[in-house]
Structures are given as structure tokens and as C-alpha cells.
Amino acid sequence: MDTVELAMSPHPTVRRRVLVVDDNVDLAQVLGEVIRADEALEYVGYVRSGAEAIEKARLGAADVFLLDLSLSDGSGFHILERLRNDAPAIKVIIHTGHALEGLGDLLKRSGAAGYVVKDGNTEKLLSAIRSA
């Protein structure tokens, strides 16, 4: 009987599950398409509010949350704090239109794994998600 050897990678590829938290549905859907195109990532969907994000965190819906700072039901800073307290294993990347000096440092001190300005640079965004 012949045996077949299977080539196995010493490090199995684990795709990072990504949830988009943004109240702009059109943007969230576009971000989903961008994330789906990256083989290292798995897009699990989007939510439109901080309350939904916190619930998804409790359910273990994703490894990485892509969080907008300006949501209709609250500040992204407050939601980041809740996520850090309720689900510290989740990596949070802030994705915002606010390009203020020092904001990235403040967000990192607050527990964000990264900060990306909404400027259309998808490679920068994907790189931040992959390295979170």
C-alpha cells in the first residue's frame, strides 16, 4: 500500500475575522468588499451602532473590529473603552475621517490597535487590519 505524504505548513493560515462598525451603510458595504478581497481576512459583516458592536463582541463575532469614531449612538472613544473592558482580546482599528494631529497616539493609549484615516487608501487600511 502506497502512502501519500501531505505537505503541511508549519504555521497554518488563520484568517482574521473582521467586523465593520460604521453607520454609513454604503461605506460599510464597500469596506466589506475590500476586506473580502484579502486572502488573510474574513469579512463577517457590519453593524451600524456601538450597541450592536458591543453585543457582537460578547458573542465573539470577530477578531478585529474596524470602528468609526462618529456613530449615531455614541462616541467611538466610549465604544472603544467598552470593547477594551468587555472583550480585551478583540483588536480595534479606528477608521475615521478625523485626521487630527496626535489623535493616533491618543487612540493607541486608549487601547486601539491602530488608527487609519478614511482617505481611500485601501492598502494602508488592510495592512493595519492584518497587523492588528
16 pLDDT above the threshold of 70: yes
Quick one: fold of 16-130? Rossmann fold (3.40.50)
11 pLDDT above the threshold of 80: no
Domain locations in the chain?
16-130
Distance CA 13, CA 34 (A): 19
* Mean pLDDT along residues 91-113: 91
Which one has a higher pLDDT value, 72 or 35?
35
Residue 3, all three cell numbers: 502512502
Distance CA 132, CA 114 (A): 7
* Mean pLDDT along residues 89-101: 92
Whether pTM exceeds 0.85: yes
Question: Cα 103–29–90 angle (5° rounding)?
Answer: 50
